[in-house]
Amino acid sequence: MGQGAKVYVVDADCAVRESISALLQTAGIASRLFASPQALLDAFDAADAGCVAAEMDGETGSGLHMLGALRGRGHGVPVILFSRLCDAGAKRRAKKAGAAALLAKPTDPVEFIQLVRRLLAV
């Protein structure tokens, strides 16, 4: 993927999106922000997206549905899902959908950046 690839961040809460973007920026990783899974699907650019970080079940749509739509379009971009409820059922659903990881929301910033770097291979 390389250093030019961006992390596409999807969250209904503007403050959360901007916080994740700021965290990524401090790590030298570019991002592109979306208020809903549908907004990401409408603007998705496989040449630009290195990975996606999205709410699993948000106010504006399901990250699981978005992940399925991306796979249905033939995009293999790694997707990190966030959930306030990270129980065994949520983990199974995320894994079955093909998520690269399911992280608790809020998540450990160091763990998140390490995961993103591994997925982007930077």
100, 78 contact by CB (below 8 A): yes
pLDDT interval class at 3 (50, 70, 90):
low
Q: What is the pLDDT of residue 23?
A: 97
The verdict on residue 21 lying in a domain is yes
Query: For the domain that residue 112 is a member of, what is the CATH number?
Result: 3.40.50.2300
How many other CB atoms are found less than 10 A from the CB of residue 112? 21
**Nearest Cα to 9, choosing from 65, 42, 54, 39?**
54
Domain that holds residue 116: 6-120
The verdict on residue 1 lying in a domain is no
Task: State the DSSP code for 105.
Answer: S
Q: What's the structural domain count of the chain? A: 1
How many other CB atoms are found less than 10 A from the CB of residue 8? 24
Per DSSP, the residues of 21-34 read: HHHHHHTT--EEEE
Question: Which H or E element spans position 55?
Answer: strand 49-55
4, 113 contact by CB (below 8 A): no
The verdict on residue 98 lying in a domain is yes
0.85 exceeded by the pTM? yes
The verdict on residue 104 lying in a domain is yes
Q: What is the pLDDT of residues 35-71, one digit of tens each?
A: 999 999 999 999 999 999 999 986 656 899 999 999 9
